[in-house]
Amino acid sequence: MDQNRQDGEVSGKENSKQIDSFEKYLKAERNFSPHTLRAYIRDILDFALFLKKKQLNFCHADKYDIRKFLEELNNKKLGKATLARKFAALRTFYKFLIINKIIEENPIESMTVGLKKDKKIPSFLTENETQALLNLPDIKLRDKAMIELLYSCGLRIEELVSLDLKNIDFISNIVTVKGKGNKERIVPMGNICLYAIRDYINARRNSGLPCDIKSPVFLSDHNKRLNQRTARRILHRYFIKAGFTKKVSPHTLRHTFATHILDRGGDLRSIQEMLGHKNLSTTQIYTHVTIESLKKVYQKAHPRAK
């Protein structure tokens, strides 16, 4: 075996070992969501492949290697949000290497890429479209409860499927949600949503299915906890039945929740709390939604708008 090939194999093994340790760190100490965790590990694996071509490991890569990697990504015409996340993944990874004394100097610490995420106005359903979805005939009790809960409380799909019955307070009309970073928040729940969940649980109880407080709120057809993929597939079926021609996802219902509350006079701080946003700036995107709606009304109604 020649020296270059041997060095390359050693570098690959060292890189793999550090990626495994990094993944455990993100899970145990940073409480990353499964989605963010997968994205970060994928980003670091891409960087490892880039370094493998140069027969380098993470410890020997310098800021010029990192910048070259980012340049290659930029040439692939990736979106700004994707590039910004990959840069964030690298920053977090090299901080991890510093913390664990695997390297002494952080090559990425003083680097900036000047990337800002494009602020896209989130897609949402109008109140009529929402009613069309909620009033579809022949919705299973479980699926009706899922749709009502997503719209009533603005939950993420991963938050929805992770709920246990102990998280639903049927007396106080609140749901306790474990969000990103395992941070808990309390969200009010409307009566219609509460009744939908109660109907589903009662039917489940009458069928002899588990309904103790430790049971998942939503069960699959095999009486196991419903997973994200299956939940998305179920919901997509109803989006088609409702006749939506635009792209609609479970997250669209979260956007719809926030937009409708803001349209009816809700304040941003309260919406921030209910959505579990860390920063108010994240919630402020919904003001752009309502402004765009106001502009459309103005253009249509004002005699001198043209």
pLDDT (0 to 100) of residue 82: 85
- Residue 263 buriedness (CB in 10 A; 0-12 / 13-18 / 19+): middle
pLDDT tens, per residue, the chain with 306 residues: 333 333 444 456 778 889 999 999 998 888 888 888 999 999 999 999 999 888 888 988 888 899 899 888 888 878 778 888 899 999 999 999 999 988 988 988 877 766 555 556 678 999 999 999 999 999 999 999 999 999 999 999 999 999 999 999 999 999 999 988 788 999 999 999 999 999 999 999 999 998 999 999 999 999 999 999 999 999 999 999 999 988 999 999 999 999 998 888 888 888 888 998 888 877 777 776 666 666 666 677 656 666
Q: What does the alpha-carbon distance between residue 261 and residue 5 come to, in Å, rounded to a whole number?
A: 61
Q: What does the alpha-carbon distance between residue 229 and residue 57 come to, in Å, rounded to a whole number?
A: 35
Q: Dihedral sign for Cα 33, 39, 43, 44, please.
A: positive
DSSP state of 32: -
Q: Which residue type occupies 62?
A: D
- Compute the C-alpha angle 158/181/232, nearest 5°: 10
- CA distances for 148 relative to 22, 85, 154, 155, angstroms: 38, 32, 10, 10
Q: Where in the chain is the domain with CATH 1.10.443.10?
A: 127-301
- Annotated catalytic residue: which of 85, 144, 156, 204? 156
Instruction: Answer yes or no: are the C-beta atoms of 70 and 113 closer than 8 Å.
Output: yes
Q: Dihedral sign for Cα 288, 292, 294, 295, please.
A: positive
How many Cβ atoms are within 10 Å of 171's Cβ, its own excluded? Answer: 6
Pick the CATH number of 127-301 from 3.40.50.300, 3.40.50.10860, 2.60.40.10, 1.10.443.10: 1.10.443.10
Q: Which residue type occupies 142?
A: R
Half-sphere exposure of 223 (CA within 13 A, CB side): 7
First to last CA, the chain: 76
pTM: 0.64
- Residue 148 buriedness (CB in 10 A; 0-12 / 13-18 / 19+): buried
Q: Where in the chain is the domain with CATH 1.10.150.130?
A: 3-99
| Distance of alpha carbon 192 from the chain centroid | 26
How many Cβ atoms are within 10 Å of 229's Cβ, its own excluded? Answer: 10
pLDDT (0 to 100) of residue 231: 97
Catalytic annotation present for 232? no
Catalytic annotation present for 229? no
Superfamily name and number for 3-99? Tyrosine recombinase, N-terminal domain (1.10.150.130)
Q: What does the alpha-carbon distance between residue 83 and residue 70 come to, in Å, rounded to a whole number?
A: 8
- Annotated catalytic residue: which of 80, 180, 236, 241? 180
Catalytic annotation present for 251? yes
Catalytic annotation present for 156? yes
Q: What is the pLDDT of residues 126-185, one digit of tens each?
A: 999 999 999 999 999 999 999 999 999 999 999 999 999 999 999 999 999 998 878 899
pLDDT (0 to 100) of residue 302: 59
- Annotated catalytic residue: which of 86, 142, 204, 254? 254
Nearest-CA neighbor of 123 among 280, 244, 300?
A: 244
